[in-house]
Structure 1
Amino acid sequence: MSRIASVGTANPSFSIEQKLGCELMKKHYSDILRPRSVEVLEKIMEHPSIRKRHIAVDGILELISFKNETQEKRIERFTRWGTRLSCDAIRQAIDSAGVGLEEIRVLVVNTCTGYVCPGLTSYIIEELGLSKNVKAFDLVGLGCGGAVPNIDLAQSVLGAQSNGVAVSVAVEICSATYQMGNDMSLIVSNAIFGDGAAAAVIWNRDSGVELVTARSLIDPVHRDDVRYVYKNGHLHNRLSPHLPEIIGETVPGEIQRICEENGLTPADIRHWAIHPGGHKMLEQIKSVLGLDEEAMTHSRNVLKEFGNMSSPSLLFAFKDVLAREIKPGDWCILVGYGAGLSVYTYLLRA
């Protein structure tokens, strides 16, 4: 049975607190933002659920230059930072697992915030000096929940191999999709998203957390409630104002189903790593399932210190879970959700 041996994470060194970020946006986009947009921006960025975010730039001057960033420059920044953060996360994960780069047999990378061909796996293989025969897969379009199907694919491709490992990487440069306007989807996105990467080492050895079973739901009825759309050749995030309620109507049911299929209830789950899509979404999931605050701790901590990084976020939360004392037999769950509308769950056991 495959297990997650370790998780590594990485962020750009540049970070900005919400208060300063809000002031910069109001100052440099005063010619664009309407009073109502400024009001909403201030309300979101003053909320205590997010303290700061990490952004893939070398300093504040580059951040300010987003207003005039060309699409070519944006893709170059996505590729450079996506590769760098992925490699940093992989190095941390393999060091924690005590394995070498030469043991990597499978590499799966998911992202939804940029498209390059060949994909990021090509750049990662080159940067880390991995075997040119590694089985490499680039997954795009999975949205914020992408880390879960990524892990499912990685363990499936690894199969029963005992002499190597699979590495599953979720990386998002959300700032590479930055657009400013009075569309409320853009206002919300600019207030909550950050950049980061996470890597999980998967192996068929006796230590680690066992990957028991995965479940997925794709509901096209809500496709337009959370997605990217192209406008003038640029990605624009679309988030329905009703998204928290939609998440509350769909995600808890999937959690209950994967539990029932394995003779469990949500009360049997000891450790939770839920995608921190936002304060309201976490509150919806908590309320519908009747979870206690402890179950939300890891997700809330990630949201507070990093914002919503899209797909790497739940692995950041799971890394916090692994840092705690997990007792043999404890049940864990990974919960991702996002574009599609998609909901991905993975049941694990220590």
Structure 2
Amino acid sequence: MGSEDTVQADSTKKANTGKATILALGKAFPHQLVMQDYLVDGYFRDTNCDDPELKRKLARLCKTTTVKTRYVVMSEEILKKYPELAIEGVPTVKQRLDICNNAVTQMAIEASQDCIKKWGRPVSDITHLVYVSSSEARLPGGDLYLARGLELKPETQRVLLYFAGCSGGVAGLRVAKDIAENNPGSRVLLATSETTIIGYKPPSADRPYDLVGVALFGDGAGAMVIGSDPVSGNEKPLFELHTAIQEFLPSTEKTIDGRLTEEGISFKLARELPQIIEDHVEGFCEKFMGILGFNHKEYNKMFWAVHPGGPAILNRIEKRLDLLPEKLNASRRALMDYGNASSNTIVYVLEYMMEESSKINKEDHGESEWGLILAFGPGITFEGILARNLTV
């Protein structure tokens, strides 16, 4: 990167001219709240399984994930209407998509409305829509149904990102940043929405990863409004998006493997995933450090908004980068309260990041104005954005 990309870490908190900023955040969840302490009994009851060894394994996993609560679309009413979802080997992709397509649209509408309300400008000022989901499949896509549900203008320009997995939220943010910076005056709505019903299955000793998913993943939606050159008095920028980088690791395509089958989506995660991320995260992050003029080891001068794929990934990043424990507080809180909600989770992390920043300032422990927004997904794909927290 050339010298024109170098910035000073002590820049003022005013957003730089022409740089995209996050102007508002919003979220929404289904009504069903699952307490982790009660998940095991409920899941085995709902799937009519009485395998004691699988039950013990899930109980152990529920503790190691650190998740306490999650929201899910799945309910007793859905299982009564579609009992085949809990039966091994039954083709149910049509039923699943009927449920998921409607559920993700409704959650995306609610999250977007929450975000637009916080933004404070009329919905008619939205010029572009970026929609992200790995939980639906249809033509036309969920972007059109969301646009219709929000009553966006017909000339709103839409981008649809399907099946980007856990990196989808940051990928969508990268796309929204490019749109905002290349279309002066534009206001981009980024919406993400996910539900685990697309992959819900009864427990099986032949599919050990399924239990990890049961113990870890949650449902919900997130939304952001992104635009450059905030209107003074009308808009309050939260984060400036300075530089975005995407990178994939060759020969890792099978590490995160998801396939749409007649029984919904089947996922397989290789055991070495946390190790692969640990081995490559520092090299990826170093790409951003020179922009700030930081030494490549000065990671604790920055804030860290990391998608919480799971506790093992967070622990390994913390270890490899020698981060102070509080640096990943926002990510760990999001994981504890919502589980891994795939593409949505980065919205929840950023909300907690602002809370954490406020606490640090009040306690006079200093502040981290610059930081990284990170996520890891299929590919293995690394998504990163160098950002400024304008709220500190």
Contact 1:94 1:201 in 2 (8 A): yes
Q: SS of the counterpart of 1:44?
A: helix
Shift in Å at residue 29 of structure 1? 3.7
| Residue 67 of structure 1: aligned partner | 86
Contact 1:251 1:337 in 2 (8 A): no
Q: SS of the counterpart of 1:39?
A: helix
Contact 1:175 1:194 in 2 (8 A): no
| Residue 6 of structure 2: aligned partner | none
Supply the distance in 2 between the matched residues of 1:150 and 1:54 (Cα, whole angstroms): 23
| Residue 216 of structure 2: aligned partner | 192
> Percent of counterpart pairs with the same letter?
22
Compared CA separation, residues 212 and 171, structure 1 to 2 (3 A): same
Find out whether 1:270 has 2:302 as its counterpart: yes
Contact 1:179 1:236 in 2 (8 A): no
Shift in Å at residue 220 of structure 1? 3.8
Q: How does 1:204-243 map to 2 (within 5 A)?
A: 204-206=228-230, 207-208=236-237, 209-232=239-262, 234-243=264-273
Q: How does 1:148-163 map to 2 (within 5 A)?
A: 148-163=170-185
Contact 1:105 1:158 in 2 (8 A): no
Compared CA separation, residues 27 and 268, structure 1 to 2 (3 A): closer
| Residue 275 of structure 2: aligned partner | 245
| Residue 195 of structure 2: aligned partner | 173
Shift in Å at residue 27 of structure 1? 3.0
Q: SS of the counterpart of 2:274?
A: helix
Greater mean deviation of Cα atoms: 287-296 or 65-74: 65-74
TM-score by length of 2: 0.82
Contact 1:18 1:51 in 2 (8 A): yes
Equivalent position amino acid for 1:5 in 2: L
Aligned length, in residue pairs: 348
Greater mean deviation of Cα atoms: 173-182 or 289-298: 173-182
Contact 2:300 2:323 in 1 (8 A): no
Shift in Å at residue 187 of structure 1? 1.4
TM-align CA RMSD: 2.3
Greater mean deviation of Cα atoms: 233-242 or 183-192: 233-242
Residue of 301, 310, 331 corresponding to 1:299: 331
Find out whether 1:136 has 2:152 as its counterpart: no
Equivalent position amino acid for 1:121 in 2: D
Where structure 2 has 5 or more consecutive residues not aligned to the other structure, the ranges are: 1-18, 231-235, 362-366
Greater mean deviation of Cα atoms: 4-13 or 261-270: 261-270
Q: How does 1:312-327 map to 2 (within 5 A)?
A: 312-323=344-355, 324-325=357-358
Where structure 1 has 5 or more consecutive residues not aligned to the other structure, the ranges are: none
Supply the distance in 1 between the matched residues of 2:263 and 2:77 (Cα, whole angstroms): 25
Larger Rg: 2
Supply the distance in 2 between the matched residues of 1:291 and 1:188 (Cα, whole angstroms): 26
Compared CA separation, residues 188 and 268, structure 1 to 2 (3 A): closer
Supply the distance in 1 between the matched residues of 2:79 and 2:370 (Cα, whole angstroms): 42
Q: SS of the counterpart of 1:299?
A: helix
Compared CA separation, residues 82 and 30, structure 1 to 2 (3 A): closer
Equivalent position amino acid for 2:31 in 1: S
Supply the distance in 1 between the matched residues of 2:152 and 2:301 (Cα, whole angstroms): 37
